[in-house]
Structure 1
């Protein structure tokens, strides 16, 4: 569900609305910039997520396909680019609740990678990104807003 409250967009979901769906599929051809955030959120929701329309993601500030794939693998995700040119994150049995080690996610100087994976650090102290400063390109106050 999305709604505007005081000029801010609030996104939320009710797990009951998607609990019956084993697989969620998104075609991101016309909105590729949401891919990193949706991929990280999909991993946390423990659903199989399929992204189609991924062709332009190799040609952004970084190769976002590889950057997100590497970041998800660091978190223990079972993710791949399949033979149909889809980015697939399989429902995981990995839990982030009791982490055993610090995880540093490479951002490749990409603001969207930093913000997507950086959001996990709000809840999980052991997850960090290697470059917080790259968010200045699009959202200089990002870290102050997510960690007031």
Structure 2
């Protein structure tokens, strides 16, 4: 399994992988549609990055780093194909984000998630993320806010 930089050809897989997990647990929201509909414009062109996990040439996971005004990056749109959940791929994707943030001189990684996603919360905490107070967010499902300072 390889983790590669996003290319325009990955846009459809980035969208469908994310829509699949979101619609399994929640409802797709306006901000999801905006970001997933144009990842090049909404993430890459704004100084962010997207990483795609590939297995035998097929996309099986992804994660985005969205540049923040404070010098950090928001970890967003991380998902792994249902058949590979629990395989350690989520940890590999998160480690790639941590490494990329360090390479970019980021001040922190930030994320918003849901208290209903216990495996994801356990992963984030195991990788050094700590809870923050609630803040304003465009996502109805987000009720947990975390950061990992550098």
TM-score in terms of structure 1 length: 0.34
TM-score in terms of structure 2 length: 0.34
Structure with bigger gyration radius: 1
